[in-house]
Amino acid sequence: MTGGEDGIVRIWARNTHELIIQLPAHEKNVYKVFPDLNFSNVIYTCGEDRNLNTFDIKLQKRINNHRIKNGFIRGIAQKVEKENEISKRIYIIINKF
C-alpha cells in the first residue's frame, strides 16, 4: 500500500508488484496508509487535507471519515486491546509570522 502526493492510495500485489486498486483518498498529500489489525479488507489513511479515512478495499469504498478543523493528522495507530478502534495522533503546527 502506498499513498502519494496526488492524494491517491494504491494497493499493489506483493508477488508481482502489479497495481490492484487505486482509491481517491485525499485532496492533498497522503501521510500514512496502514491495514487494520483485525480485518484484512479494511485500511486507514491520513493526509495533509486533515482527514482520517477508513476504506473497505473489497467494496472499494470509503466507510468512515474524520476531519479536524485545526492542525494536521501526521500519524495514526490502532489500539490492540479494543477491536476496530483507531487512536489518532494529532500534531498541531502553529505558524508564527
Higher pLDDT, 68 or 93: 68
Q: Which CATH number does 2-91 carry?
A: 2.40.10
* pLDDT of the residue at 26: 92
Contact 80, 37 (CB under 8 A): yes
Closest CA relative to residue 39, chosen from 21, 23, 58? 58
Q: Are 93 and 72 in contact (CB under 8 A)?
A: yes
Give residue-wise pLDDT tens across range 7-61. 999 999 999 999 999 999 999 999 889 898 888 899 999 888 888 899 999 999 9
